[in-house]
């Protein structure tokens, strides 16, 4: 359940600050932050107070939680439908940003001679690459690691010092990273 992300989305759409909502809901701003980041779950009373503070219906919020996508499948046949722009790489995320709270996942398509830069502002992240098709080279700090179809690697990210390079006409990689 991703209740916190839905509450945050509504708060931002209504242009309300965390302080405004927390005060009206009679909770601390820190507790509201924990709820929005899915670290803590509010009681029914607290949820009702938060919704009231934002002027939204708690039932509508819970219905949105129920309707959230629970899983995403990207079939092999879908790979061909991923358009690769002139940059030479494309990223197909499994979930939209509001549904990514612990890990981020994507299918990466990389053309030969092109590269995908790493995520910005991520520290102490673990990442996993698994090559589904082709060959890529992971530049991780001073090391260069070649991975071919069927190979996988799990590593600690090095902010600003990692890049994934395509080494075959089209490489397809599953990427997973902690947030």
pLDDT class for 76, splitting at 50, 70, 90?
confident
* First-residue to last-residue Cα distance in the chain: 18
Model pLDDT for residues 112-145, shown as the tens digit of each residue = 999 997 777 777 889 999 999 999 999 999 999 9
Using CA atoms, how far apart are residues 176 and 129, in angstroms rounded to an integer?
7
Domain extents in the chain: 3-67, 76-178
Output the pLDDT for position 173. 96
Q: How many CB atoms lie within 10 A of CB 13?
A: 10
- Answer whether 3-67 and 76-178 agree in fold: no
Region 93-121 average pLDDT: 84
pLDDT of residue 68: 77
> Please, what CATH class does the domain formed by 3-67 belong to?
mainly alpha
Q: Is the pTM of this model over 0.75?
A: no
Where does the pLDDT of residue 99 fall: very low under 50, low under 70, confident under 90, or very high at 90 and above? confident
The pLDDT value given to residue 94: 86
Task: Assign 55 a pLDDT band (cuts: 50, 70, 90).
Answer: very high
CA-based nearest residue to 158, from 173, 137, 143:
143
Task: Please state which CATH number belongs to domain 76-178.
Answer: 2.60.120.10
b/e code 155-176 from CB counts within 10 Å (16+ = b): bebeeeebebbbbbebbbbbbe
């Amino acid at each position: 359940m991703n209740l916190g992300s839905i509450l945050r989305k509504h708060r931002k759409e209504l242009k309300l600050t965390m302080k405004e909502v927390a005060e009206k809901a009679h909770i601390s701003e820190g507790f509201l932050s924990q709820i929005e980041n899915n670290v803590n779950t509010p009681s029914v009373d607290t949820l009702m107070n938060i919704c009231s503070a934002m002027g939204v219906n708690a039932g509508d919020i819970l219905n949105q939680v129920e309707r959230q996508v629970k899983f995403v499948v990207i079939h092999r046949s879908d790979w061909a439908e991923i358009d690769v722009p002139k940059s030479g790489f494309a990223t197909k995320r499994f979930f939209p940003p509001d549904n990514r709270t612990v890990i981020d996942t994507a299918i990466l398509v990389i053309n030969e001679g092109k590269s995908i830069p790493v995520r910005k502002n991520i520290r102490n992240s673990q990442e996993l690459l698994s090559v589904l098709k082709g060959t890529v080279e992971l530049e991780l700090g001073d090391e260069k690691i070649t991975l071919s179809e069927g190979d996988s690697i799990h590593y600690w990210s090095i902010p600003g010092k990692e890049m994934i390079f395509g080494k075959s006409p089209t490489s397809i990689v599953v990427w997973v990273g902690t947030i």
